[in-house]
Amino acid sequence: MTESPVSDDAPAFLTTGQFAQRASLSQATVKRLCDSGRLAHVVLSCRGDRRIPSSELDRLLAEAAAKRLHS
């Protein structure tokens, strides 16, 4: 069994920057995934600050791994 990139003491929500770093994506890509509905997220302010549940990182990485296996 592989280890989750989200540890037990990880925050429940990640900023777009934190998510991008952990998923090896650009922050712009993370924002596009949020805007398209592919990543669950909450918007905290009128500035559009987003927070993404850390569980979304596991889900996204699992989807990517499954696609690599079936390619």
What is the per-residue pLDDT for 11? 80
Class of domain 13-69: mainly alpha
pTM, entire model:
0.80
The answer to whether residue 1 scores a pLDDT higher than 50 is no
Strand (E) or helix (H) holding 15: strand 13-15
* Domain parsing of the chain, residue ranges: 13-69
What is the per-residue pLDDT for 45? 86
What does the pLDDT look like over 4-53, one tens digit per residue? 555 566 689 999 999 999 999 999 999 999 999 999 999 998 998 999 99
